[in-house]
Structure 1
Amino acid sequence: MPSSAKANDMGKTNTKHILSADAASLFSDFDIELFKGGVHYRLYEKMGAQRVTKGNAEGILFSVWAPGAGSVSVAGDFNGWDKNAHPMHARWDSSGIWELFVPDLAPGTPYKFIVRNGDFEAEKSDPFAFQCEVPPRTASLIPAADTFRWTDKKWMQERHLKQNEHAPLSIYEVHLGSWKRKDGNEFLSYRDMAGELPAYCREMGFTHVELMPVMEHPFYGSWGYQQTGYFAPGSRFGTPQDFMHLINELHKAGIGVILDWVPSHFPTDAHGLQYFDGTHLYEHSDPRKGFHPDWQSSIFNLGRNEVRAFLISNALYWLDRFHVDGLRVDAVASMLYLDYSRKEGEWIPNEFGGRENLESVQFFRQLNDAVHASYPDVLTIAEESTAWPGVTQPASAGGLGFDRKWMMGWMHDTLLYFAQDPVYRSYHQELLTFSIIYTYSEKFILPFSHDEVVHGKHSLLRKMPGDEWQQFANLRLLFGYMAAHPGGKLLFMGDEFGQSGEWRHDYSLDWHEASGDKNKGVQQLVKDLNHLGNHPALADNYNPSGFEWIDFSDRDNCVISWLRKGTNGSFLVCIFNFTPVVRRNYRLGMPEAGYYTELLNTDAAVYGGSDVHNTQLETAPFARHGRTHSLSLTLPPLATLVLEYKGPNF
């Protein structure tokens, strides 16, 4: 079955299973074999709270993995939270799975598993819960019967055209709790967001949204990166069906949806996965492998088959049930290196004495193979900050199998360069030119994410040097440089209109600033750059023949220039002036003789610039930069200039 059809067929919150009167399980012997082997990728169809009809009774079949437990029971509103009223039964096959059928449970009923192991007793949320109570409450909820019907068939059928290597990729990163808020600083619901976000992204020309983690998390200030409900959309904003509605509306607007996904670690909250059955079940027992010093959280034991099956099932769940178009995998570097953020003696070498986490390598390959086997048109994206080789190479070729990788080195070097006062930039030009040396070694996305505008790092606007005019001009130059550089693009919300303050997760973006003239100019520029990204010379970001330097050596003037070339023979000339000085009669070699026009100028008045521009441009037979013909240009201050060739005659 094609992936798009499969997703539409499986797009249901909960499927009712039919059991015979004497049946006690949804697991076949083959299911158990796959689970124990770490290759059961649809565990959410079996585990947790599954709606079933058993004989003449309708109810819920509970299943939970707790091999170390001496006993497990289910408690909830339906039994007055009596820990002993509904004991579960351990399967006979040493799988460690406990099961119990309970009839007549209403949707939305809170429940937990009571897990005992000797003196250990804990009230645990369901690891496979489809819905959770609104924090700070921590119970799981009996799922509702499916009521949602998808109407995004066109998107799903055409998704492969929107997400291949030759399609433009411009991502808008969003934190659902702070994009916008209602009066009184209340959250927008998923359905509120569905009424505004799709239209805004479509108007702005973004191809995708990337949602910071939506999975249930107890501490809002973790931004979703410390999760306890891996299968439950955050209840602060509504129900699973409400979240489906948001995705459905984004798809109908032609916007893809990427979810941040966190298989690297989980919090130590008592109701979560930590020490689940009185043993180190999901996490490593040795803190040198099982505890993360930066985030004070537990690290998944990827050497355990059942844990890998849990995580890969979770990845497939969001693709199956929610029609998600991509997963951006968080903190990949922290998983690849055993000594990540650890001092000598605080980590355990691998079997060969090295620092590489071989279990993580195998997990990433298995994950990406599983995802692409079911959904070849879905994107997997690695947030990986090192030079680990082959991140976006297929597993069959020795790579990790991701489709894209964040270009963290480009982000760091670019922001470091732009932070320099223009008078000193000539000494740092390698920060701009170095990225081209390795830009085609992986399939990169250029990220300006939430991490760059928080915790005292300042907003993108306030990172720029100079007075207010120069800051806005630098920001426009930065966005023009980013748009012309090979690779996909990602902007965090608020960047697109030049928000002056840092991101604050407890409040809405400062949308009132977007009405300012300079801010409106930045917003219009981002919109135009996104639409310019559809140009054949810019859309194909992963073809090494699509880039050619004109000049990278003009340090004195702080000017660099290159060509972007499409497979159809089209090309664009991209020129960047990194000083506030207007460069007149600046001669630049051109690939073709004839006429050129300005396709985009970030200094244009419509963007809030000084409106220094070129009118009619015709080459002259003066050799420059290894080319027989050249143009005499006026370079606007602190600006990106994109020229289009019109032909030998105009």
Structure 2
Amino acid sequence: MAKTKEDPKKVLNTEFNHYLFNTGEHIRSYEFMGAHVIEFEGRKGVQFTVWAPNAQSVFIAGDFNDWGYGEMFPQGTTGIWTGFVEGIGEDAIYKYRIRRHDGFEFLKADPYAFYSELRPKTASVVKDLNGFKWEDATWRAKNKRKNLDANPMNIYEVHLGSWKRHWDGRFFTFSQYIDELIPYVKEMGYTHIELLPVMEHPLDDSWGYQITGYYSVTSRYGEPKELMQFINECHKQDIGVILDWVPAHFCRDSHGLYLFDGTPTYEYQDPNKASNNRWGTTHFDYGKPQVHSFIISNALFWMDMFHADGLRVDAVSAMLYLDYDDGPWTPNIYGGNTNLEGVALLKKLNTTVKKEYPAALMIAEESTAFPLITHDVESGGLAFTHKWNMGWMNDILRYFELDPIYRKNHHNLITFSFMYVFNENFILPMSHDEVVHGKKSLLNKMPGDEQMKFQGLRTLMTYMMCHPGKKVNFMGNEIAQWMEWRFREGLEWIGLKYEMHQKHQYFMKELNSLYRNHKALYEIDDSYDGIDILDADNKNESLFTFIRKGKQPRDFLVVICNFTPVQRDHVKVGVPFEGQYEELLNTELKEFGGAWEYSEKTFNTTEEQVNGKDFSLEVIAPPLSVLIIKPKRIKGAK
């Protein structure tokens, strides 16, 4: 078992484990809950342990006893039931037969199962997760030492079921993605892969966000150890792996957590707090100690057993607000709308993860202005490492969807983020949610003809890369997919037969490389020390100029954004040092799909005060473009 050297027989059946679980302090409850292959008093078999505090009786039912009544025994007054079945092992199929307080019986999947049958079947499957030979010690040691905030983080967000599909519609497996996805991500220059939930879920349409098996690797893509192998290979290729995770709510399918023992077990008893009407799901009871043990153990489970580098925590807002959902709500003890129990659980979760895995990423998908999401608990914060900047994403997409003739009237959509950009430790997302449900693909959001759409997309991607904050880009954005994301089929790889899509993919590869190779774009993402805004007020020409800075004086880049399809000549920008500068990137070059045949290779400063600087450069800003200029030979900078 992870981080345990004791004999399994002793580990699985101790009063101390039961005490910790029921007080909310067991941070690895998966080590004794669920189904474990053990040897007990000389007999080999599987021990089953489940929490069903209000059940009259609990039995083990499976393919090994004709789905009958395998005996389980209550462990005092703990609400925990345990049973042992001799002669079975891995791949045994089972459920718990629960007899409710009124005698009614029903079958439930194991909340702690490590594997499940392929949908539409719903039974749990016994799996032994021990014995995998990890080869990522170098990766893990390196991550412990480095400051993640001062390093590049460019995340490729992936839904495994629709990155690629076989010609007959079958899913690729984890093993096949080792050969297909990892080399692609490596070649494109991303630092991390973020996987939409790989926990077991009954409905493909939920993309994994409505979970039934929190400890169960979804059987759609293969076995648990195949996912281990996938993550192991990512680490060997210097690629981190982040897993999407949903501790806010679970689906109401009858075999899942909902009314697990016939009463509200994992969920609130108050229906106003339990029901999520918008999503048709049910909220965990964040104040229940056993739920604390379940959720915190689950977070550590994916790091212990699968070496995940972090979790992107979905729907955090639903944990923070009692009135976040549609419909009636129950105020807290002070009459307010903050879910005090949700706040307490998130603080406890992030504190525990930080203690156990100091380098782990805990990323909040949180869409409101709730304060101090990424600040430490001692300062009143929730202690996430990062927060998705949903406000920036919404503003920037609204701006880019406008016909450029109107952009001068909405210039604040570009500049407003700099009023709050360092209030939290932000990640900038261009996520799956923005390219589905009729919202169009990123390419198709851009106004104008085909040429202009590609111009706009290159400009958007480059501005995102230059803006402070780490990055997330959903699969398909990098090949400029025309159609919005369709989760039932693979991406439009066929588009790469066409020149413009080939050039855009090449552009994204070059942009990713530029980001990773220039400290100015990532080294200071959390303070105004990392940016010097030159001109944020030129709304009439829709120009925006700024400097991104690293920790050393010489590490800086000048960024000139032209958000209209009109070439701007004689654009003057201030620079901090006298000397010669050179073009690093012009998004309008022909090699990227633009119209410019050439680059302006070098620029010499003029001793003229512009933008509050003593020296200036004069450049041509191509239409709908971003120009990035770096120092070449300058005076005064060490």
Q: TM-score range by the shorter chain?
A: over 0.9
Aligned to 1:174: 158
Aligned to 1:73: 59
Question: Is structure 2 residue 189 aligned with structure 1 residue 205?
Answer: yes
Quickly say closer, same or farther: Cα 1:145–1:366, change in 2 above 3 A.
closer
- Under a length normalisation based on structure 2, what TM-score does the superposition of the two structures give? 0.97
Question: Is structure 2 residue 82 aligned with structure 1 residue 102?
Answer: no
Aligned to 1:608: 593
Aligned to 2:36: 50
- Structure 2 distance, partners of 1:412, 1:17, is 53
Any idea what SS the aligned residue of 2:114 has?
coil
Give the CA deviation at 1:200. 0.8
Question: Is structure 2 residue 490 aligned with structure 1 residue 508?
Answer: yes
- Structure 2 distance, partners of 1:425, 1:561, is 16
Which runs of structure 2 are paired with 1:390-429 in the superposition (5 Å)? 390-429=372-411
Any idea what SS the aligned residue of 1:388 has?
coil
Aligned 8 A contact 1:392 1:405 in 2: yes
Aligned to 1:636: 622
Aligned 8 A contact 1:76 1:110 in 2: yes
Question: Is structure 2 residue 558 aligned with structure 1 residue 576?
Answer: no
Aligned 8 A contact 1:613 1:634 in 2: no
Partner amino acid, structure 2, of 1:607: F
Aligned 8 A contact 1:17 1:51 in 2: no
Give the CA deviation at 1:607. 0.6
Question: Is structure 2 residue 98 aligned with structure 1 residue 115?
Answer: yes
Partner amino acid, structure 2, of 1:102: V
Aligned CA-pair RMSD: 1.6
Aligned to 1:257: 241
- Structure 2 distance, partners of 1:565, 1:620, is 21
Any idea what SS the aligned residue of 1:237 has?
coil
Aligned to 1:4: none
Partner amino acid, structure 2, of 1:109: A
Quickly say closer, same or farther: Cα 1:11–1:523, change in 2 above 3 A.
farther
Question: Alpha-carbon deviations, 1:141-190, whole Å to 9, x = none?
Answer: 11146342111111111123566110111000000100011121211000
Any idea what SS the aligned residue of 2:406 has?
helix
Any idea what SS the aligned residue of 2:488 has?
coil
- Structure 2 distance, partners of 1:603, 1:634, is 12
Give the CA deviation at 1:28. 2.2
Partner amino acid, structure 2, of 1:585: H
Quickly say closer, same or farther: Cα 1:583–1:71, change in 2 above 3 A.
same
Question: Alpha-carbon deviations, 1:287-311, whole Å to 9, x = none?
Answer: 2100001111111001100011101
Kindly tell me the number of residue pairs found equivalent between the two proteins.
630
Partner amino acid, structure 2, of 1:434: F
Out of 204, 214, 219, which is 2:203 matched to? 219
Aligned to 1:553: 537
Aligned to 1:430: 412
Which runs of structure 2 are paired with 1:321-340 in the superposition (5 Å)? 321-340=305-324
- Structure 2 distance, partners of 1:294, 1:149, is 43
Aligned to 1:238: 222
Out of 296, 300, 307, which is 2:291 matched to? 307
Question: Is structure 2 residue 575 aligned with structure 1 residue 590?
Answer: yes
Quickly say closer, same or farther: Cα 1:643–1:49, change in 2 above 3 A.
same
Aligned 8 A contact 2:46 2:89 in 1: no
Partner amino acid, structure 1, of 2:348: Q
Partner amino acid, structure 2, of 1:465: P
- Structure 2 distance, partners of 1:162, 1:216, is 33
Any idea what SS the aligned residue of 1:646 has?
strand
Any idea what SS the aligned residue of 1:553 has?
coil
Aligned 8 A contact 2:129 2:225 in 1: no
Larger CA deviation: 593-602 vs 452-461: 593-602
Larger CA deviation: 401-410 vs 35-44: 35-44
Give the CA deviation at 1:33. 2.0
Question: Is structure 2 residue 528 aligned with structure 1 residue 544?
Answer: yes
Question: Is structure 2 residue 514 aligned with structure 1 residue 532?
Answer: yes
Aligned 8 A contact 1:595 1:645 in 2: yes
Aligned 8 A contact 2:17 2:26 in 1: yes
Give the CA deviation at 1:341. 2.6
Aligned to 1:5: none
Give the CA deviation at 1:623. 2.2
- Structure 2 distance, partners of 1:264, 1:146, is 29
Aligned to 2:369: 387
Any idea what SS the aligned residue of 1:202 has?
helix
Aligned to 2:110: 126
- Structure 2 distance, partners of 1:50, 1:190, is 24
Give the CA deviation at 1:16. 9.7
Partner amino acid, structure 2, of 1:577: N
Aligned 8 A contact 1:122 1:270 in 2: no
- Structure 2 distance, partners of 1:253, 1:46, is 34
Question: Is structure 2 residue 336 aligned with structure 1 residue 357?
Answer: no
- Structure 2 distance, partners of 1:36, 1:501, is 49
Give the CA deviation at 1:10. 3.5
Aligned 8 A contact 1:77 1:111 in 2: yes
Give the CA deviation at 1:452. 0.3
Any idea what SS the aligned residue of 1:405 has?
strand
Question: Alpha-carbon deviations, 1:208-253, whole Å to 9, x = none?
Answer: 0100000000111110011101001110111001111111111111
- Structure 2 distance, partners of 1:647, 1:385, is 44
The percentage of aligned residue pairs carrying the same residue is 45
Structure 2 unaligned regions, length at least 5: none
Partner amino acid, structure 1, of 2:51: W
Which runs of structure 2 are paired with 1:134-149 in the superposition (5 Å)? 134-144=118-128, 146-149=130-133
Aligned 8 A contact 2:97 2:107 in 1: yes
Any idea what SS the aligned residue of 1:78 has?
coil
- Structure 2 distance, partners of 1:591, 1:144, is 61
Partner amino acid, structure 1, of 2:572: R
Larger CA deviation: 578-587 vs 253-262: 578-587
